[in-house]
Structure formats: structure tokens, C-alpha cells
């Protein structure tokens, strides 16, 4: 989302303000990298401190590789536990940030050259646009949308043709909901340079046949129950496909201290050691999805993951866990990028048994039509962000407006 102001220089100066969590930070760092390549000045505003270790690691590395970026650290006054109704540390941080977002103003008002725009995350938009309404995060932020000039979306025309072509053109041409800002699909956001990956999984992937590996990962903040881990473990084993499984048992990375052996049993790890790899650590997902050995992606449908799979044309087995993820699953299924078994419900709602897991994983890896549809999505994604593509055109229009 962007809140535009006038600028006297011809080079747009854009402040980026992501909210808590890797799922929010990642698209902003990608956007920063894209803006720099389009000759913009960039100021990155981050909160002090971050909720997860992954966030602070990524911010430090990104800034060290882009010394031209100005960095503002925004000290967020902590919330009193009595002021929150959730115990999710990321949601508490959204709320705390929103409540004190007005304190950002003095930090950015003296920037030189002055800012042309602030691109902020929806979950902190109401604070950024100084409209204080004390409702549920999403609702209170959504009602501030008319105060913004545009909504940047990490999607592309061909992926959501109905939304982009019909609904958005109705909104953008003011035929619907007069007070909504322009909606601007600029995705999939490109990747950016990450710290050299030391992970043992890349050499392992290098030795696997093309498109033979099922990649299982549920993003940066979705923990799986021990019972579900057990069923998925059996499902993977019975499916007999090679697999790379990134396991999380806690919402925040620094709390995730349990041993793999305790979670999966030594015998499973021993039995599958030639066939699969299970890790309980941060991996470079963008590199894994780009690896030719990966043939399918079992995922919770966080939107960054969906866009990353779309970019690479990797078929997905959608297993939404919470929040917006069922809507995302529906979109990706409709686009032809993946399959979704609605009866699995939300994460934790019901235990998906071994046979269900096995059946769907096999379908993911063998369905030839799915594979070719997913590849087509990959081509369309590359076209959207390539020369003359729809997303590049939209990006250039936004930047020209900010000059």
C-alpha cells in the first residue's frame, strides 16, 4: 500500500515499512531490490526488535549488500499483555506497531530528499495513515484504504484473470466502490541475493533426478502438531517419493528447540536417509523451488510461497492452515498451479491420516496435466515480469507518477 506525497527531485524516494514476520518482510525486501534497480532511493523502516531471528538475519544481510539504502530503526513501545486478546507474538507486534506508528512521522519528516511515497503493509496501514480505529487488525486496516493512493499487489494478470481484469478494472475505472485506491498488480516480485547458502540440502538436491523430490514446507510461522507430523511422516514414506521436509513445531523460530530424533524417531530417519531429508532450520526456499530436482510442493499457501511456486511453475499440494490461506488455495487451484483437498480443513482442525497424505502426494507427483498446467503458469509469470509484461508496465507507471 502506498501513501504518496510530492517530491522535488526526479528520483523517487520511497520508504518501505514491512510489518512483523518473514511473510511480510520478504516481499518488501524484494520490492526494495526492484526499486533500486529502477533507480529509486529507498529508505527501509524496520521495527526494533524483530519477533524472529530470521527477520533480523535477513535485514542485516540485505542492508550489508545494499549500503545505499537508508535504514530507520523504529523502536516500538511494547504492548501490555492486558491490551491484547491474542498470544500470537506476530499479531501482538502488528498491534503494538499500529498503536505507535504515528511516532514514525518525526523520523521520516526530516529525510532528505523528502519522501515521494511510503509503501506500508496492510496490517500496519491504519497506524501509518494515522487513522486510529480499534477493531480487528484486518478490518481496521481495510477501512483506511481510501486514504491511500494505491495498493501494490504481489500477483499478476494471468494468475487471477477474473480479479485483475474484471474486478480491478471496475475499481480502477471507478465503476465500483468509488473511494477505493488504484489496485496495482506488480508480481511475482523477483528474488534478491541471499546469503550464500551453506545448507546440506543443496548438495543433496544436486544428486537427485530431475523433478523427483517433494518439497514440504509450511512457511516461516506455521507449527505442525506432533500427531500430524506422525501421519505425514508415514504418508511420505508410503508414497515412496524422495522428499525434502522442513519441519516447524513452534510459531517463532527461536522457540523451536525440539530434536528431530524425538519428533520423527531414529528408525524413520535411518530408513529414509537415502530417499529423503528432514530439517528443522531456516532454508532458502527461493533457491529450493528453483532447483531442477524439485517436482512438487506441499505447502500452507502463504502468498509468498504461492508466488514463488508460480514463478517456477512448480505444482502445489495446497494445505491451508489459517488466515487468508484458503482463499489463496482457491486462487492457485483455479490458476492450474495445484490441487487442494477441501475436506482436509484448516490445520489442526482434523488429523489428515497417512493414506490421505500418501494419495495426494502421489497425485501431486504423477499428474501429467497438473505438471504441464503449472509449467504454463511459470511461463505466464515470467512473461508478466519480463520485458513489456503486465507487471513491469504497472511498476513503471507507478514510478513515473512518483517522479
Q: Which residues are catalytic?
A: 24, 121
> Which among 31, 30, 35 has a CA at the least distance from the CA of 12?
35
Compare residues 183 and 244 and give the one whose CB is closer to ligand UDP: 244
Question: What percent of the residues of the chain are helix, what percent strand, and what percent coil, each to the nearest 5?
Answer: 45, 15, 40
Binding mask 140-169 for ligand UDP (x = CB under 6 A): ------------------------------
Site for ligand UDP (CB under 6 A): which residue of 137, 208, 239, 358? 137
Stretch that binds ligand UDP, among 43-51, 226-234, 322-330, 337-345 (CB under 6 A): 322-330
Compare residues 331 and 399 and give the one whose CB is closer to ligand UDP: 331
Binding mask 250-289 for ligand UDP (x = CB under 6 A): --------------------------------xxxxx---
Compare residues 225 and 372 and give the one whose CB is closer to ligand UDP: 225
Which residues inside 22-41 make contact with ligand UDP, applying CB under 6 A? 22-23, 26
Is residue 324 within the footprint of ligand UDP (CB under 6 A)?
A: yes
Site for ligand UDP (CB under 6 A): which residue of 4, 245, 303, 340? 303
The DSSP secondary structure of 81-130, one letter per residue, reads: GGG-S---HHHHHHHHHHHHGGGHHHHHHT-SSPPSEEEE-GGGHHHHTT
Compare residues 59 and 399 and give the one whose CB is closer to ligand UDP: 59
Is residue 195 within the footprint of ligand UDP (CB under 6 A)?
A: no
Peptide bond connecting 49 to the previous residue in cis, omega within 30 degrees of 0: yes
Using an 8 Å Cβ cutoff, are 249 and 223 in contact? yes
β partners of residue 119: 2, 16
Work out the number of other CB atoms within 10 angstroms of the CB of residue 243. 25
Compare residues 146 and 348 and give the one whose CB is closer to ligand UDP: 348
Is residue 311 within the footprint of ligand UDP (CB under 6 A)?
A: no
β partners of residue 74: 47
> In the bound complex, what is the minimum distance in angstroms from residue 66's beta carbon to ligand UDP?
18
> In the bound complex, what is the minimum distance in angstroms from residue 139's beta carbon to ligand UDP?
9
Is residue 246 within the footprint of ligand UDP (CB under 6 A)?
A: yes
Stretch that binds ligand UDP, among 216-224, 256-264, 329-337, 387-395 (CB under 6 A): 216-224
The b/e string for 193-209 (b: 16+ C-beta within 10 A; e otherwise) is eeeeeebebeeebeebe
CA 103 to chain centre: 27
Is residue 401 within the footprint of ligand UDP (CB under 6 A)?
A: no
Element (H, E) at 398: helix 390-402
Site for ligand UDP (CB under 6 A): which residue of 220, 272, 354, 357? 220
> Which among 189, 191, 192 has a CA at the least distance from the CA of 384?
189
Site for ligand UDP (CB under 6 A): which residue of 13, 221, 233, 371? 221
Is residue 61 within the footprint of ligand UDP (CB under 6 A)?
A: no
Using an 8 Å Cβ cutoff, are 93 and 137 in contact? no
> In the bound complex, what is the minimum distance in angstroms from residue 262's beta carbon to ligand UDP?
20
Using an 8 Å Cβ cutoff, are 268 and 354 in contact? no
Compare residues 26 and 116 and give the one whose CB is closer to ligand UDP: 26
Compare residues 221 and 242 and give the one whose CB is closer to ligand UDP: 221
Phi-psi region of 221 (alpha: psi -120 to 50; beta: other; left: phi over 0): alpha
- DSSP secondary structure code for residue 386 in this structure: S
> Which among 275, 228, 271 has a CA at the least distance from the CA of 247?
228
Question: Residue 92, CB half-sphere, CA atoms under 13 Å: how many?
Answer: 19
Question: Which residues of the chain form contacts with ligand UDP (CB under 6 A)?
Answer: 21-23, 26, 88, 123, 137-138, 217, 219-222, 246, 282-286, 302-305, 308, 322-324
Amino acid at each position: 500500500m502506498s501513501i504518496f506525497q510530492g517530491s522535488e527531485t526526479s528520483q523517487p524516494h520511497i520508504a518501505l515499512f514491512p510489518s512483523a514476520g518473514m511473510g511480510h518482510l520478504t516481499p518488501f525486501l524484494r520490492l526494495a531490490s526492484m526499486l533500486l534497480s529502477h533507480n529509486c532511493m529507498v529508505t527501509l523502516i524496520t521495527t526494533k526488535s524483530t519477533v524472529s531471528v530470521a527477520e533480523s538475519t535477513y535485514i542485516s544481510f540485505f542492508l550489508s549488500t545494499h549500503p545505499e539504502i537508508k535504514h530507520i530503526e523504529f523502536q516500538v513501545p511494547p504492548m501490555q499483555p492486558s491490551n491484547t486478546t491474542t498470544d500470537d507474538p506476530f499479531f501482538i507486534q502488528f498491534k503494538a506497531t499500529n498503536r505507535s506508528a504515528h511516532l514514525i512521522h518525526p523520523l521520516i519528516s526530516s529525510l532528505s530528499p523528502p519522501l515521494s511515497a511510503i509503501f506500508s503493509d496492510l496490517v500496519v496501514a491504519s497506524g501509518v495513515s494515522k487513522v486510529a480505529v480499534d477493531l480487528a487488525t484486518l478490518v481496521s486496516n481495510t477501512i483506511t484504504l481510501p486514504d491511500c493512493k494505491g495498493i501494490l499487489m504481489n500477483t499478476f494478470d494471468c494468475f487471477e484473470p477474473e480479479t485483475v481484469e474484471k474486478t480491478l478494472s471496475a475499481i480502477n475505472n471507478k465503476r465500483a466502490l468509488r473511494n477505493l485506491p488504484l489496485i496495482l498488480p506488480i508480481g511475482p516480485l523477483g528474488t534478491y541475493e541471499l546469503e550464500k547458502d551453506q545448507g546440506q540440502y543443496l548438495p543433496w538436491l544436486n544428486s537427485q533426478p530431475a523433478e523427483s523430490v517433494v518439497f514440504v514446507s509450511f512457511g516461516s510461522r506455521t507449527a505442525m502438531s506432533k500427531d500430524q507430523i506422525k501421519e505425514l511422516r508415514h504418508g511420505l514414506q508410503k508414497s515412496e517419493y524422495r522428499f525434502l521436509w522442513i519441519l516447524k513445531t513452534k510459531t517463532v523460530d527461536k522457540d523451536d528447540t525440539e530434536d528431530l530424533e524425538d519428533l520423527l524417531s531414529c528408525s524413520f530417519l535411518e530408513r529414509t536417509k537415502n530417499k529423503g531429508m528432514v530439517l528443522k532450520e531456516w532454508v532458502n526456499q527461493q533457491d529450493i523451488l528453483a532447483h531442477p530436482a524439485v517436482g512438487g510442493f506441499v505447502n500452507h499457501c502463504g502468498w509468498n510461497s504461492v508466488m514463488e511456486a508460480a514463478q517456477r511453475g512448480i505444482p502445489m499440494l495446497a494445505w491451508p492452515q489459517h488466515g487468508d490461506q484458503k482463499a489463496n488455495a482457491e486462487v492457485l487451484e483455479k490458476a492450474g498451479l495445484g490441487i487442494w483437498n477441501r475436506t482436509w480443513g484448516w490445520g489442526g482442525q482434523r488429523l489428515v491420516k497417512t493414506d490421505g497424505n500418501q494419495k495426494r502426494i502421489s497425485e501431486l507427483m504423477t499428474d501429467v496435466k497438473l505438471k504441464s498446467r503449472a509449467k504454463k503458469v511459470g511461463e505466464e509469470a515470467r512473461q508478466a515480469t519480463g520485458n513489456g509484461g503486465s507487471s513491469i508496465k504497472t511498476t513503471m507507471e507507478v514510478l513515473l507518477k512518483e517522479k
